[in-house]
Amino acid sequence: MQQIRGWIFDLDGTLTVAQHDFPAIRRELGIPADEDILTHLGRLPIAERQRLNDELNAIELRLAADVVPAPGAAELVRELHRSGRQLGILTRNLRSVAMASLERIGVLDCFAPEHILGRDEAPPKPAPEGIHQLLADWQLSNAEAVMVGDFHFDLAAGRAAGCRTCLVFPDNAWPELTDLHVADCHSLLAQLRTTDGPA
């Protein structure tokens, strides 16, 4: 992991304990159970899209108030920050929600605001544009970066961008998209310390 200089994280379910009950959110917004929320909203007429986007924003801001760190997440981010790695967030949430969540778990100061990309700053994952945007800003190649997340959208975005991928989840449901699989951030931190040496 020593050659990985750019670390791009998903947020909900990766650095924080998963807060989003997506079936409940779909029901609240009137979105069919088998549809991706953002894809569905993107197909709606502008007025209806804006109304439901406002409702979705309110739901996410409400959830952010109760966010808690995933096990080992704050320690992992702090260690990466201390070691001089570039850190970014690529989330399908709002940037303001991401910043509120990072503040709640005590690591907001580890991220430059312009490196926290929400759905209004870059096309939502699995699109890779947000990763390209961060790499260009950091002046890093895709070989020097890893996309870390808990869902196939995260891994697919990393694959499409040509960078490494790390799945943080108990089971590896997408081995074809995963370069590194760990159960949680504690395990990822342990691997980082093994390759980097003592902090």
Q: What is the DSSP letter of 114?
A: G
How many folded domains does the chain comprise? Answer: 2
Q: pLDDT digit string (tens) for 104-162?
A: 999 999 999 999 999 899 999 999 999 999 999 999 999 999 999 999 999 999 999 99
Q: pLDDT digit string (tens) for 31-44?
A: 888 888 888 888 88
Tell me: do 55 and 116 sit in the same domain: no
Tell me: do 99 and 56 sit in the same domain: no
Tell me: do 180 and 145 sit in the same domain: yes
Tell me: do 121 and 36 sit in the same domain: no
What is the amino acid identity at position 65? A
Residue 1 forms part of a structural domain: no
Average pLDDT, the chain: 91
SS3 content of the chain, % helix, strand, coil (to 5): 50, 15, 40
Tell me: do 49 and 120 sit in the same domain: no
Cβ contact 154:128 at 8 Å: no
Query: CB within 8 A of 27, min separation 6: which ones?
Result: 33
Tell me: do 60 and 72 sit in the same domain: no
User: In this structure, what CATH number is given to the domain that contains residue 159?
Assistant: 3.40.50.1000
Residue with tokens 């709002």: 94
Distance, in Å, from the CA atom of 198 to the CA atom of 129, rounded to the nearest integer, reads 35
Tell me: do 14 and 30 sit in the same domain: no
Report how far apart, in Å, the C-alpha atoms of 118 and of each of 44, 57, 78 are: 20, 12, 21
Residue 44 forms part of a structural domain: yes
User: In this structure, what CATH number is given to the domain that contains residue 39?
Assistant: 1.10.260.80
Residue 155 forms part of a structural domain: yes
pLDDT at position 199 over 60: no
Torsion region of 125: left, alpha or beta (phi above 0 gives left; psi -120 to 50 gives alpha): beta
Domain closes at, from 49, 65, 81? 65
Residue 175 forms part of a structural domain: yes
Distance, in Å, from the CA atom of 171 to the CA atom of 124, rounded to the nearest integer, reads 24
Tell me: do 33 and 81 sit in the same domain: no
What is the amino acid identity at position 71? P
Between residues 101 and 26, the one the model is more confident about:
101
Tell me: do 50 and 93 sit in the same domain: no
Tell me: do 33 and 131 sit in the same domain: no
Distance, in Å, from the CA atom of 148 to the CA atom of 9, rounded to the nearest integer, reads 5
- The confidence score (pLDDT) of residue 20 equals 63
pLDDT at position 89 over 90: yes
Residue 162 forms part of a structural domain: yes
pLDDT at position 72 over 90: yes
Residue 113 forms part of a structural domain: yes
Percent residues over pLDDT 70 in the chain: 97
Cβ contact 158:131 at 8 Å: yes
Tell me: do 108 and 34 sit in the same domain: no
Tell me: do 60 and 153 sit in the same domain: no
Range of the domain at 41: 22-65
